[in-house]
A and B are shown apart, each in its own frame.
Chain A
Amino acid sequence: MTALQALGRWWLGVLGRLGRGHLFLLRTLVALGPLMLRPRLWIRELYSVGVRSLLIILVSGLFVGMVLGYQGYITLVDFGSAEALGTVVALSLVRELGPVVTALLFAGRAGSALTAEIGLMKATEQLSSMEMMAVDPYRRVLAPRFFAGILSMPLLAALFSAVGVAGGYLVGVGVLGVDAGAYWAQMQANVDVFDDVLNGVIKSLVFGLVATWIAVFEGYDTEPTAEGVSRATTRTVVHTALAVLALDFILTGLMFGAL
């Protein structure tokens, strides 16, 4: 096979997967309607996807906030504006680090678990058996997980940012001696609900949709073998990380820049 043929075959494979991925998204979105009549299905998944990710999100948020406290202070104190630390920490978290780092952690914790679970259900013929029992796996398995992922991402990102702000406070005020009143007052004065917080929520919603879409699709589209599930799980983490970082660049440009 010539290099050109190999390239053509690879490209056709990529296009095929893209097509399948979008059809998959369409069918999953259609299945969200009936899902609203059975909230128990997605509430269970919300626990599995969201609540079980809490520990890693909270601990990471705390450490990221504390590092921001140190780094922000070191830079600001040179300009005599250490009291602006609260603003720096909050804006960094709400606009960027909260949505992005939460999405990356989500991919590693919940996304990989979703892919492995659905992939194994496929490999052990559980999805096939559902189809033969006249139960649509899109409605029963995929849509609840998809919805739970989209719903939990903004909540996890909000908690990440809140704990991060507390971490910045611990280091900035508790260790480095920044005035507590200035920390909160500067934050309150300079962080806008719409420009900053709402844009951060929109980002985390978009990241939630993309991260869960990739995770659930990779599981459903996996080759039904142990090796196939392993490869799909890896792809979920890698593709989600790349997609989130690329989308973050685009969304940041649209929201805060000149794009």
Chain B
Amino acid sequence: MPDKTPWIEIRDLRFARGGRTIFDGLNIRIPRGQVAAIMGPSGSGKTTLLRLIGGQLRPDRGQVLVDGQDVHRLSRRALYRLRRRMGMLFQSGALLTDLDVFDNVAFPIRENTRLPEPVVRALVLMKLEAVGLRGARDLHPAELSGGMARRVALARAIALDPELMMYDEPFTGLDPITMGVIVTLIRRLHDALGMTSIVVSHDVAETSSIADWVYLISDGRVVDQGPPARLQEAATDWSRQFLQGLPDGPVPFHYPAPDYLGDLMNAEGRR
């Protein structure tokens, strides 16, 4: 059973950018050892939330506590120390394009530790073996398919054995086989390394299959939460529309517009 102490606690978070409020009164508690899924429509601020947790963005109000530490009150040195306990898989992979696969995975180890090179090599090969790409160690990022790049990025993200893993849209743009591989890897690595994981995604089926708890966010706050099975059964109208992929509902199909007939008949209108 996972420990119920919250490893991540987000309290009354407010964040606005470019005059648009992205979060207002957001509250989330993620216990240690849990796979938490943050789901919501595009533009609901899922990636922004990961950047707030990682301390890359600063909220207008509220707190983000990671292992009891207020991320946005830490000194730069303390924040970097905390980040050594985190891993993040970016949607694009974000591999360093001037390094090959081996050096990409070795990068965080070499930068953050003083381990001798034979130990670094062994660690890198173990991480690459875990994602099935030990044989691709000499390839450059430009030579990798999208799925392979994401697996390399995953190996790099777990290079320092993080306590918290954050996945930003890990299933987007993958073929079914690669998606299955990534789904399995995320759950397997989570269980093997005893991490806390946050998966940000709008791929309902894949995310639900590995998540212990799902937070649905919309309009800047959590609109529903619970185990995936319960959300599928007894959901609100909004959750049902999102989880079942219905084109119309509380989230309207049409962008706000003037009356359709009047718009068509207005021949002198500019556009």
Whether B115 is near chain A, meaning CB under 8 Å from some CB there, is no
Residues of B within 8 A of A135 (CB): 107-108, 111-112
Residues of A within 8 A of B96 (CB): 126, 129-130
- Are B92 and A125 neighbours in the complex by a CB distance under 8 Å? yes
- Are B80 and A132 neighbours in the complex by a CB distance under 8 Å? no
- Are B80 and A134 neighbours in the complex by a CB distance under 8 Å? yes
A interface bracket (residues with beta carbon within 8 Å of B): 10 to 19
| Contact pattern, A 132-154, Cβ under 8 Å of B = 1, otherwise 0 | 11111000100000000000000
Q: How far, in Å, is A36 (CB) from chain B's closest CB?
A: 17
Within 8 A of B (CB), among A107-161: 121, 124-126, 128-136, 140
Q: How far is the CA of A131 from the CA of B156 in the complex (A)?
A: 13
- Are A133 and B108 neighbours in the complex by a CB distance under 8 Å? yes
User: Quick one: which of A124, A133, A140 contacts B83, CB cutoff 8 A?
Assistant: A133
Residues of A within 8 A of B111 (CB): 133-135, 140
Interface core residue of A121, A132, A134, A135 (most chain B CB under 10 Å): A132
- Are A124 and B97 neighbours in the complex by a CB distance under 8 Å? yes
Whether B170 is near chain A, meaning CB under 8 Å from some CB there, is no
| Contact pattern, B 66-91, Cβ under 8 Å of A = 1, otherwise 0 | 00000000000000110110111010
Whether B56 is near chain A, meaning CB under 8 Å from some CB there, is yes
Whether B33 is near chain A, meaning CB under 8 Å from some CB there, is no
- Are A131 and B94 neighbours in the complex by a CB distance under 8 Å? no
- Are A132 and B56 neighbours in the complex by a CB distance under 8 Å? yes
Residues of B within 8 A of A125 (CB): 90, 92, 94
- Are A128 and B94 neighbours in the complex by a CB distance under 8 Å? yes
- Are A131 and B97 neighbours in the complex by a CB distance under 8 Å? no
Q: How far, in Å, is B82 (CB) from chain A's closest CB?
A: 8
Whether B54 is near chain A, meaning CB under 8 Å from some CB there, is yes
Q: How far is the CA of A132 from the CA of B86 in the complex (A)?
A: 7
Query: How many B residues, CB 8 Å from partner?
Result: 23
Q: How far is the CA of A130 from the CA of B95 in the complex (A)?
A: 10
- Are A133 and B107 neighbours in the complex by a CB distance under 8 Å? yes
Q: How far is the CA of A15 from the CA of B51 in the complex (A)?
A: 27
Q: How far is the CA of A52 from the CA of B108 in the complex (A)?
A: 29
Q: How far, in Å, is B202 (CB) from chain A's closest CB?
A: 19
Residues of A within 8 A of B84 (CB): 134
- Are A129 and B81 neighbours in the complex by a CB distance under 8 Å? no
Q: How far is the CA of A140 from the CA of B94 in the complex (A)?
A: 16
Residues of B within 8 A of A131 (CB): 54, 56, 83
Within 8 A of B (CB), among A59-87: none
Within 8 A of A (CB), among B149-196: 153, 156, 160
A133-B112, A135-B112 known; A126 and B83 CB under 8 Å? no
Residues of A within 8 A of B94 (CB): 124-126, 128-129
Within 8 A of A (CB), among B200-245: none
A124-B97, A126-B97 known; A132 and B92 CB under 8 Å? no
Residues of B within 8 A of A121 (CB): 97
Q: How far, in Å, is A191 (CB) from chain B's closest CB?
A: 42
Residues of A within 8 A of B160 (CB): 133
Within 8 A of A (CB), among B14-54: 51, 54
- Are A134 and B88 neighbours in the complex by a CB distance under 8 Å? no
| Contact pattern, A 149-191, Cβ under 8 Å of B = 1, otherwise 0 | 0000000000000000000000000000000000000000000
| Contact pattern, B 232-263, Cβ under 8 Å of A = 1, otherwise 0 | 00000000000000000000000000000000
Q: How far is the CA of A128 from the CA of B88 in the complex (A)?
A: 10
Residues of A within 8 A of B87 (CB): 132
Residues of B within 8 A of A132 (CB): 54, 56, 83, 86-88
Q: How far is the CA of A10 from the CA of B111 in the complex (A)?
A: 41
Q: How far, in Å, is B20 (CB) from chain A's closest CB?
A: 17
- Are A134 and B97 neighbours in the complex by a CB distance under 8 Å? no
A124-B97, A135-B111, A135-B112 known; A129 and B80 CB under 8 Å? no
Q: How far is the CA of A140 from the CA of B80 in the complex (A)?
A: 14
Residues of A within 8 A of B153 (CB): 129
User: Quick one: which of A126, A128, A129, A134 contacts B112, CB cutoff 8 A?
Assistant: A134
Q: How far, in Å, is B171 (CB) from chain A's closest CB?
A: 17
| Contact pattern, B 124-154, Cβ under 8 Å of A = 1, otherwise 0 | 0000000000000000000000000000010
Residues of A within 8 A of B80 (CB): 134, 136
- Are B90 and A129 neighbours in the complex by a CB distance under 8 Å? yes
Cβ-closest 4 pairs across A and B: A129-B94, A125-B94, A134-B83, A133-B108
Q: Provide a sorted-by-A list of 7 A–B residue pairs whose CB atoms are within 8 angstroms.
A: A121-B97, A125-B90, A129-B96, A131-B54, A132-B88, A133-B111, A135-B107
Which residues of A are in contact with B by a Cβ distance under 8 Å?
A: 121, 124-126, 128-136, 140
Beyond the given A128-B90, A134-B112, could you list 15 further A-B residue pairs with CB under 8 A, ordered by the A residue number? A124-B97, A125-B90, A126-B97, A128-B94, A129-B94, A131-B54, A131-B56, A132-B56, A132-B86, A133-B112, A134-B80, A134-B108, A135-B107, A135-B108, A135-B111
